[in-house]
Structure 1
């Protein structure tokens, strides 16, 4: 009899624990690294409003994050730095298409030494080393390559290009003077301590820099993730994104 009671108590404990876990709620967020500061602040704001919810962020290159989702990583919400990776996952049936939207947009800039006076991408031929994100690992590199190819500069500059793993690394290279300049997102360039923004690249030279977001198929079944997605598209999150230099449509 004691054994039966013990088993019943264990079962009851597990049921109560499961209910508490559901009530507590977790949102497993995978977002492009360039969004890290803004998303941390937005997550903190949301957790203040909804203390029973915990946002668990994972930041990195969009391609790497997409491959993690592709391989079955537990993710509720994905925010990419370009449309291609979102479309790639959607084509595999991994994203809840009805939840897809655009969080924000950005600009591509040249950031570099304060003594430089570059006024166009053509001036890059005079520099010794220029950092860009590896186009195979991050969208920022794709945008940079598109802009350079549009002006017929990519092949000429190829020997001078230093490939960074992500935007933050490219900014660090420029900040430390390891390269003369770097082609990065404006939001990341604003975080530089020593380097300065030298030039904004014309958006006509590359694809639109947009940050699509969507719930994964599993995330669509998580009420906490659905609610957090709505918060990301609201006025409080918009204010934070604009503070960090992102462009948000009205």
Structure 2
């Protein structure tokens, strides 16, 4: 009888020990899981991206994909003429990432030491085209801009809009500057040029191919020769004043990846800069 009691006591001791160890491991695992969970919960971040107006459609689509993958990141875009965006950054406007439609504006900010230099990269290429309203039939070439059918020719403001600068170079190359200058009306960015042509407020306009492709109210009648203007290159860089350097670099890396590339190509942009 005594032996039975001792045996039962021993079994009870072993059982209690096993249960205690098990509970300890459970608590330890729970604490570890909680720790890992905390690490995985990235802090909320808002990125301000100043980007050329011609990127609006493609960048908005990319934003949807990116924020699904990184739900802690909110992306606010500031679209406009590249020269205007450059001035804003120079004056201290908040921006984490800058994407220009020409190297001129990026080079200026680099010279002023306002960019993280090792992040500067040429991201995309584009083409310059002549567009007219969908139902127009009399303008088919750049030379036709000198005719009486074109009373208003919409261009981006050359001082702040790269597309306007490219247009000037094209006219100079084709010796058309003096013949079309009196017809020119200047817009604040390339999207406004497109709108004026769409609504018939301008008889023709010079925009990027990517802008023309998203509109069903205009048609492309001519593409500028590549040797008639500087290459249309879109450089990008992280702004030095950013408080979200890692997140800005991560988004820039994403813009160079395959998912973003598919979207850019869908809108007519080219790679291989």
TM norm. shorter chain > 0.5: yes
Query: Which of 72, 78, 89 is the aligned partner of 1:52?
Result: 72
Residues in 2 aligned to 1:64 and 1:22: alpha-carbon distance in whole angstroms: 33
**Match runs of 1:20-31 below 5 Å:** 23-31=43-51
Alignment of 1:132 with 2:155, yes or no, is yes
Alignment of 1:247 with 2:267, yes or no, is no
Residues in 2 aligned to 1:137 and 1:227: alpha-carbon distance in whole angstroms: 28
Residues in 1 aligned to 2:61 and 2:136: alpha-carbon distance in whole angstroms: 34
* SS of corresponding position for 1:193: coil
Residues in 2 aligned to 1:134 and 1:144: alpha-carbon distance in whole angstroms: 10
* SS of corresponding position for 1:219: coil
Alignment of 1:76 with 2:96, yes or no, is yes
Offset of 1:154 from its aligned partner? Answer: 0.8
Offset of 1:222 from its aligned partner? Answer: 2.0
* SS of corresponding position for 1:109: strand
Q: Unpaired runs of 5+ in structure 1?
A: 1-18
**Match runs of 1:1-250 below 5 Å:** 23-113=43-133, 114-126=135-147, 127-219=150-242, 222-249=245-272
Offset of 1:221 from its aligned partner? Answer: 5.5
Q: Extract structure 1 runs of 4+ deviating beyond 3 A.
A: none
Q: Unpaired runs of 5+ in structure 2?
A: 1-38
Residues in 2 aligned to 1:117 and 1:104: alpha-carbon distance in whole angstroms: 33
Residues in 2 aligned to 1:24 and 1:216: alpha-carbon distance in whole angstroms: 20
TM-score, normalization: structure 1?
0.88
Residues in 2 aligned to 1:220 and 1:111: alpha-carbon distance in whole angstroms: 41
Q: Residue 91 and residue 218 in structure 1: after superposition, are their counterparts in 2 closer, same or farther (change >3 A)?
A: same
The size of the alignment, in residue pairs, is 232
* SS of corresponding position for 1:59: strand
Q: Deviations over 1:141-171 (max 9, x none)?
A: 0000110011111111111111111111111
TM-score, normalization: structure 2?
0.80
Q: Find the structure with the greater CA-based Rg.
A: 2
CA contact (8 A) 2:63 2:75 kept: yes
* SS of corresponding position for 1:115: coil
